[in-house]
Structures are given as structure tokens and as C-alpha cells.
Structure 1
Amino acid sequence: MGQREETTEELSERVLARLRREYSLVSSEVWVDDVHRVDFVGFRPARNSPFPSSIERGEFVFVEVKSCMNDFKSGHGLTFRGDANWLVCPPDLAQTLYETRQLPKDAAVFCPDARGRLQKKFDLGIGPGSSRIASVSELLFRMVNHSAYSYRTSRGVFSNDYCPWCSPYRAKLLNDIDDVCGDMDLIEGIELALEVNDPQGVHLSMSHDNGIDCAYIPINYCPICGRNFRKDR
């Protein structure tokens, strides 16, 4: 994997982690119309409630990820037609776009800080206005049916930056913990568990209740909130 691909992957992981904390439905690689595909689209109803009026007044955010200037100028992936729009890129690219007056119109620019958290660096958004053309029902349909993946999330799950899956580790360093926790039931008889007893890294295990066909997979990020385990060591 080249540097450009690695940067794109890391930025995308940061985007997904933040969107899943702040939006109720998140989809990746969404065809928002027949010719435009957006890296990520997030939706949250007004007041985060399920009532029809709250759905109609909900917010869509369109997120485009760019790793370098060549990627930015590739002619693809600059579709900013949401209620909110983000360009996520490395800080040096954001600064170059600012200095050369190429910042995208109607979009905010987010960059990772020293700890990997996305922070707003520039904002040419239109305040409370919206660039959205498509209807709520059309975009929701496309998020579910015309995307690579869709994630049903809840802001309540991550209140106060609390991840119910990996939060038992937040009070201490990972290498100080030597037991298994963070179990998460998926289907009856199948569960995931986060294990940190290997000094070389964190592992995600998936097993059946009969103990057969166990998968043991090394991971660097919490699969729910995107926490970077290696950086937390």
C-alpha cells in the first residue's frame, strides 16, 4: 500500500469514528445521484428523535476525503451538496489550499491534530443555509441502497466520549491489562471479544458457543468507536 492509500485509509477511519459518534445513520461511498459518489454521508434527525417532522428537518453531512493535492485535483470526489459539508485532509494540504485560494466553497475543512482527532481548520460554509438539492427520502434511500456500507449508530451510545465496547480500557494503559473484556453479542451463539493479553497488539476474536471455528484477528482500532489502540499504549 502506497503513502497516498495509507493516508486515505487513516483519514477515513477518523471520519467514520467521528460520524458514528455524532450521526444516527452513516454510509460510505454513497451514490447521491446517478453521477456523483461521496466518500461518507451522515444523517441525524432534528432533536435526534424518530418523529416524522424531526426526520424531515434532519441534517445530512457530506464528507470528502483527500490525501494530497493530486487527489484533490483528480476531478473526482468534490461533491458538497449536503446540509453540512466537510473536506477532510492532512494539515499541509489544507494550508496549501488556503494559501492558493482553492478552499472548496460551502465546505468546512477538517484536519487531524497531533492526537489524530479531527479539528476544523477552515470554514467556507454558508452558516445555517444548506446546499442540499435531494429530498430527505431520496438521500436516505440512497444511503441504504446505493452505498458500500451503512452503519446504524446512536449518539447516546457515545455520550461523553464513552464507548461501551472499549471504554473499560480508558482508565489505564492497554499494556497494564491482561484479561479479556469488551464482549459483544452479535447473534445468539456468536460473540466478539476484545483481547489485550498479547504484548504485540490488540486482537479481536470471534467464536461460536461450541468453541469451534474461532477467528483471532490483530486490530489497531476499536471496531465501534475507532479508538487507536497502538497510540494509546
Structure 2
Amino acid sequence: MRIAIAGGTGQAGAQAARIARERGHEVVVLARSAGVDLVGGTGAAAALEGADAVIDASGVRPGDDPAAFHEAVIGTVAGARPPHLVVLSIVGCDRAAEYPLYGGKFAQERAAETSGVPFTIARTTQFHEFAAQVLRMGARGPFRFSPRMRTNPVAVREVGARLVDLAEAAPAGRAPDLGGPQEESLVRMVRAYARASGAGRPVIPINLGGAFGRAQRDGSLLPGPEALKGVETFDEWLTRGC
């Protein structure tokens, strides 16, 4: 198969590209660094030509409006009329759409559903690397802050494999969600990552306000009982060297 991957240099997209190549597929990376701008459309038509499936694992750029960004990417991809579009989304994005990142993913899903292109939506939970992101984002002087959140982190390489599995299969609409093997506390994850990375500074729990903060704490962002479960735990990921 010829598989085009939007965001093929990002975390999940790079894993999908590696796995697809290992399985013998021809991979086309759709990224600005490869001369393809899926928002403006530059280079997209040539890159998408002949693709049997397109995986949209694209990520927003700093300063972008997430909803507008994802809608533009879907519009560009749909214009090439690929036989199958696989969209990487987030578990619970519809229940926390007030938060721009989650709202952007929900807008991306709706754009795929109305694109006229056969599609599969693949929702996953946050990756293990989320702990490192929160540690960086929560830095304030000598302290680190982490939101209280119930989460079910999954290994990004397992997400990459899932995306390729779905690209190889027929369009499925909304596919079963994918989560990690067990529920975790985000605060514990961030503290464990801080120790493992040598950050050595206190991590202070906080409650975010609004509907998004409540969704973080009440389990709304956890996968349901019908979701697929990954294999690697967060602690195993830490032991492996992050």
C-alpha cells in the first residue's frame, strides 16, 4: 500500500511511518519539513496522489486555532479524494470540547465525517510522554505544577501500530478506542517522571477550573469498558528510559 501520513514527523506519526515501512508499505510523509503544507495546500496534491490511505496524525502549531487548523487539514486531504482517511483523535474530546486542544480534535472528527471521504476515527488516550509535557508546561520558578487528572496513558508506539492496522483495513467510521493497560494519576506520573529525569523539584497538584477541569478529575476522559487496551504501562516506559 501507499500510505500518506500527515504529521509523519511527530510522535504518533513517526511511529506509524516506521511501522508501515517495516510492514513493506510505501510511506509518504506529509509535513512542512517535507515541503507539504496541508493548511495552505502547497505540495499536497502531488504528495497525496496515488495514496491508498491517509493517516492524519497532524499536530497544531504554536499560535494556531486548533479547530481551524484541523478543519483545514481535513479539507486539503479530502480534496484529493483518498480511498480511506484515518484520523487520530483523543478519547473524551467531545466531553471536554471547551478546552481548545480537545475542541480541535472534535472539530477534526466532524470534518472527517462530513468530508465525503471514507474514514476511520481512532481515538486514543494521552501518551506516556504526556507526563514530560506537563512537567515542562507547569514550570513556575522553583516549582512544578500538575493538574489532578485520572488518565489511562498508552505507549505511542502502540498508537502508531494501531493507526497502521486501521489504514490496512476497510474504513470503519468510529473505531474502538485505545487506552493504556491501567488507570493512572497524572500527578503521580509527573512526579515519577521528574525523579527519573533528575528534575528534583517539588510537583504541586492543582485543580483546573471549568468543565475541562471537572472532566479531568471525574473520569470523563477515561476509555470505556469496550476500549482496546495497550500493553506497556507508564512505569515500564519509565524503566525503558522514557
| TM-score, normalization by structure 2 | 0.30
Work out which of the two has the higher radius of gyration on C-alpha atoms and give 1 or 2.
1
Structure that is richer in helix per residue: 2
| TM-score, normalization by structure 1 | 0.30
Structure that is richer in strand per residue: 1
